[in-house]
């Protein structure tokens, strides 16, 4: 597969019911469906794509902060080391 510096090569195999069936070009057989709204306008079956994934540390940090706040709220008035909760 691709290293972190190079995009993943893929192509649109077909479009069905508002979803593009994307297939990796590396012969791995990996494919996935993606709503057309996330692809460039006018995309068609047979179009090739360069896909790049990147980490989003700010989003991760915000999620961890939200989890910490929810844990704090759930343990308010109780044991701060509590890790199991009854809902």
* Residue that wins the pLDDT comparison between 73 and 4: 73
Taking the C-alpha atoms of residue 82 and residue 72, their distance in angstroms, rounded to an integer, is: 10
pTM for the whole structure: 0.68
CA 49 from centroid of its chain's CA atoms: 17
Indicate the pLDDT class of residue 59, thresholds 50, 70 and 90.
Answer: very high
- Helix (H) / strand (E) element for 31: namely strand 31-35
DSSP H or E stretch at residue 76 = none
C-alpha neighbours within 13 Å on the C-beta side of residue 66:
6
For range 39-60, the mean pLDDT: 95
Helix and strand totals (H; E) in the chain: 1, 4
Average pLDDT along the chain: 88
**Domain spans of the chain, in order of start:** 8-75
Architecture of domain 8-75: Beta Barrel (2.40)
The predicted pLDDT at position 2 comes to 46
% of the chain at pLDDT higher than 90: 70
């Amino acid at each position: 597969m691709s290293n972190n510096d190079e995009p993943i090569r893929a192509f649109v195999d077909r479009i069905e019911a508002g979803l593009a069936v994307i297939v990796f070009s590396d012969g791995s057989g990996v494919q996935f469906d993606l709503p057309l709204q996330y692809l460039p306008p006018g995309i068609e079956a047979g179009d090739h794509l360069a896909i790049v994934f990147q980490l989003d540390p700010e989003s991760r940090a915000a999620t961890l902060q939200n989890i910490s706040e929810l844990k704090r709220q759930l343990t308010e008035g109780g044991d701060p080391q509590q890790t199991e909760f009854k809902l």
